[in-house]
Amino acid sequence: MKKLRRKVYMVAGSNTISMGSGRKEFSPKMVMPTPETLMKEAGQATLLKIGGAQHVDECVVGNFMSARFNRQAHLGAFFPFIDEGLKGKPAISVEGACASGSLALVSGIKSVLAETAEVVLAIGVEVQNTVKAIYCADILAGAGWFQNRKNGQAYFFPGEFSDRAGAYFEKYGREKTRKAFARWFRNAIENARLCPTAQEYHNTVKDLEALGMTEPNGKFFVDHLSVYDCSKVSDGASAITIVSEEGLKRLGIPKSDAVEVVGFGHVEGNITQQPDDLTELTQSKLAVAKALESAGITKDQLGTAEIHDCFTIAAVETIEAMGFAGKGEAPDFILDGNTSRTGSIPINTTGGLIGWGHPTGGTGVHQAVTLLEQLTGKTGDAQITLSPNKPYGLSINMGGNDKTLVSIVYRNANA
């Protein structure tokens, strides 16, 4: 992929709380939010930071399954509900399973590159707690080829990634890999405890690794993963503004408060085909390679990353796809502390999908907001120390079982 032909920036990120089990406020009996109310909350917070809706040229929302979870489609038409100043402006809704949020970002980036917009408001949103977990799993199975639904486990995607874990155990060993899963869980929850909007912010468990080592039970869930190896069922929204240099001037926002998008990779796999090797994330590897090539950097220049840890095994395989560990070596890389907030490449510094939460259509935008805040020094208690020699951040957002992948490279605009 060629370098971007025009400067592209992101500014003014906002998140709602990632609501679901684990939050003190949450109850299955509570009145659930609607996608439009969460879009409004996140959208208005971002509009306030940029001085109002009059500055926006285009809008885009990423969402996966609102039509089934909430019986609500046509989300683009809710932008004027966010603010009357958005009435009459173009808006679209994009979908790519759990990568829907990043596809919204890519849509906005391309509008800025095409010079059809100088300021794009991008939102990612999902509300999933409207149904019980088993029915949620059935709806989320739509991220795979639904023709295979009858052949899958009741918890379809946990089953898909349980199969990946089982294959990884067989090829590279179970004991150390399970310990790495538990360490990943611990790091995720400890990072989430530093972020007030995270779903696991209120978690007070003392021995997180012991909890993470809970043995899987295939009679009740899936064979090779426990519930602690899984991301959350979450309701939430995130918003951010994608702008050109002219857009930055229009908003009056200094570059010190912005990140520059220096490259991205977007690839698709064949949803009708099973992975050739369950121990590898082939499309993830390709997306990261394209993003780094587009940015003109190497992985060793990355100071932090937000990756799609929908399951602990996905984190392990993604680290190998990024090139930070060889095949079968990611468990050692994790256990040696490299991915912790003080490690060589801090990953998922506000908790990731396992700790912060996974409102599917919102996750890609949340990753961008976290990297914006980290690279501009505005993450509060979750802030990490970034080396001047590693000024870049990278996100990886996955749709389905390694089928739709978006990877974006960012840096502080003043760097």
What are the pLDDT tens digits along the chain (415 aa)? 567 889 999 999 999 999 999 999 999 888 889 999 999 999 999 999 999 999 999 999 999 999 999 999 999 999 999 999 999 999 999 999 999 999 999 999 999 999 999 999 999 999 999 998 889 989 999 999 988 877 777 888 999 999 999 999 999 999 999 999 999 999 999 999 999 999 999 999 999 999 999 999 999 999 999 999 999 999 999 999 999 999 999 999 999 999 999 999 999 999 999 999 999 999 999 999 999 999 999 999 999 999 999 999 999 999 999 999 999 999 999 999 999 999 999 999 999 999 999 999 999 999 999 999 999 999 999 999 999 999 999 999 999 999 999 999 999 988 7
How many alpha carbons lie under 13 Å from residue 358 in its C-beta half-sphere? 26
Residues 163 and 288 in one domain: yes
Residues 245 and 334 in one domain: no
Please report whether residue 272 resides in a domain.
yes
Would you say the pTM of this structure is higher than 0.85? yes
Residues 244 and 188 in one domain: no
Token pair 């602690």 is at which residue?
228
Residues 239 and 281 in one domain: no
What CATH number does the domain containing 240 carry?
A: 3.40.47.10
Please report whether residue 1 resides in a domain.
no
Residues 67 and 143 in one domain: no
Residues 319 and 215 in one domain: yes
Residues 327 and 268 in one domain: yes
161, 173, 224, 279, 393 from 170: Cα distances, Å: 14, 6, 11, 10, 33
As a whole number of angstroms, the distance between CA 133 and CA 190 comes to 25
Residues 124 and 250 in one domain: yes
Domain that holds residue 95: 9-131+233-257
Residues 43 and 67 in one domain: yes
Residues 266 and 325 in one domain: yes
Please report whether residue 4 resides in a domain.
no
Number of domains in the chain: 2
As a whole number of angstroms, the distance between CA 123 and CA 369 comes to 11
User: DSSP secondary-structure letter at 122?
Assistant: E
Residues 341 and 223 in one domain: yes
